[in-house]
Amino acid sequence: MDLLNNFLFIALPYIALTVFLIGTIYRYKGTKFKFSSLSSQFLEGKKLFWGSVPFHYGIMVLFFGHLTAFLLPDVILSWNSSPLRLMILEVSAFIFGISALVGMFSLLIRRKTNPRIEIITSKMDLLIELMLLIQIFFGLWVAYEYRWGSSWFASVMSPYLTSIFTLNPQIDAVSRMPWVIKIHVSLAFTIVLLIPFTRLVHLLVFPLSYLWRPYQKVIWNWNRKKIRDPKTLLNVTRSKNN
């Protein structure tokens, strides 16, 4: 049992994080053309709405919820000190979970039933979607069965994750967790591990910078004033489109 726990909570996280880091950087640098969200809306637009929108908004809220609980456990704990606020947090998180689950489910159905979408579906797409579906399902199970997750996450998972990131893994507390939670945690790391091998990389390039860049974009192949100035004949900075 110890061996398994060691593997799931020490080895797997480090393998996953290493592969994720090296893999995504390599992919971003090396195979840029393949870095895309691979949207399939162009082939089928209606059913996508009922899958993509609830899934993405659901999973985004949940992701940032987990992140907040990990980074600011005290904030969550003090928020949860009042039962009403705890209920609000738990119930709304659960609703977003349902939304993500329903979304992912309809995306999978769409993938398997629409002949056009099937053509552009890769094995990795199916694998990762299935894993996400199972992961969300386990997440909901955990939330329903082992209340109140938002509180014990802050006191159990946050220290554990911190210990992982500070290279001093403490797994006593997580090892004693029920197996449902253990699966949820290990699946999470497995998904992180798979990110560089799937279309999930698109979440790393979410175009937030669009908000502050000017609308129009002009790229000059060479600096048109410098090129005519005899003093700066050689300039070895590569232009952006070259």
Partner 1 sequence: MDVRSQVSMLFHLDKCIGCHTCSIACKNIWTDRKGAEYMWWNNVETKPGTGYPTKWEDQDIYKGGWEKSGKSISLIGSGKLKGLVNIFHNPHLPVIDDYYEPWTYKYSNLIEAPAQDDQPTARPISLITGKPIEIKAGPNWDDDLSGSPDYARKDPNLENLSPAEQEAMFQLEKMAFFYLPRICNHCLNPACVASCPSGAIYKRGEDGIVLINQKVCRAWRMCVTACPYKKSYYNWSTGKSEKCILCYPRIESGIAPACMHSCVGRIRYLGVMLYDADRINEVASADVNNLVNSQLSMILDPFDEDVIASAKENGVADSTIKAAQDSPVYKFVKEWGIALPLHPEFRTLPMLFYVPPLLPVMASLSEQKNKEQLDKLDPIAKKWDDDWLYDTSTEELWGTIDDARFPLQYMANMFSAGDTCKVKDIMKKLMAVRIHRRDKTVGDLDKENVKKTLKDVNLSADSADDIYYLTSLAKFDDRFVIPPAHREQAIEMVENTGDVKGSSGFGFIEKPARGI
Q: How far is CA 195 from CA 31, 108, 116, 125, 140, in A?
A: 15, 18, 25, 11, 22
- Asked if residue 122 binds partner 1 (CB under 8 A), the reply is no
Nearer to partner 1, 92 or 223 (CB): 223
What is the smallest separation between the CB atom of 71 and partner 1, expressed in angstroms? Answer: 23
What is the smallest separation between the CB atom of 222 and partner 1, expressed in angstroms? Answer: 4
User: Nearest 10 degrees: CA dihedral of 223, 224, 226, 227?
Assistant: 100
Nearer to partner 1, 103 or 139 (CB): 103
Tokens for 3, please give them. 């061996």
Nearer to partner 1, 83 or 231 (CB): 231
Tokens for 57, please give them. 């908004």
Nearer to partner 1, 89 or 128 (CB): 128
- Give the H/E segment covering residue 194: helix 179-194
Q: Distance (Å, rounded) from C-alpha 74 to C-alpha 160?
A: 15
Which class for 161: exposed (0-12), middle (13-18), buried (19 or more C-beta within 10 A)? buried
What is the smallest separation between the CB atom of 242 and partner 1, expressed in angstroms? Answer: 5
Q: Distance (Å, rounded) from C-alpha 196 to C-alpha 74?
A: 32
From 2, 83, 84, 115, residue interacting with partner 1 (rule: CB under 8 A)? 115
The separation between the first and the last C-alpha atoms of the chain, rounded to the nearest angstrom, is 55
- Asked if residue 35 binds partner 1 (CB under 8 A), the reply is yes
Residue 32's contacts (CB-CB under 8 Å, 6 or more residues apart) are none
**Residue in this structure with the two tokens 């979440």, named with its chain if needed:** 203
From 56, 68, 141, 162, residue interacting with partner 1 (rule: CB under 8 A)? 56
Tokens for 201, please give them. 């990389």
Which of the residues 179 through 238 are near partner 1 (CB under 8 A)?
202, 205, 207-211, 213, 215-228, 233-238
What is the smallest separation between the CB atom of 112 and partner 1, expressed in angstroms? Answer: 14
Instruction: Tell me which stretch binds partner 1 (CB under 8 A): 50-58, 92-100, 132-140, 164-172.
Output: 50-58
Residue 232's contacts (CB-CB under 8 Å, 6 or more residues apart) are 226
Nearer to partner 1, 16 or 108 (CB): 108
What is the smallest separation between the CB atom of 62 and partner 1, expressed in angstroms? Answer: 15
What is the smallest separation between the CB atom of 35 and partner 1, expressed in angstroms? Answer: 7
Residues 186/6, Cβ–Cβ less than 8 Å: no
What is the smallest separation between the CB atom of 219 and partner 1, expressed in angstroms? Answer: 5
Which residues contact partner 1 (rule: CB under 8 A)?
32-33, 35-45, 48-49, 52-53, 55-57, 115-116, 118-120, 202, 205, 207-211, 213, 215-228, 233-239, 241-242
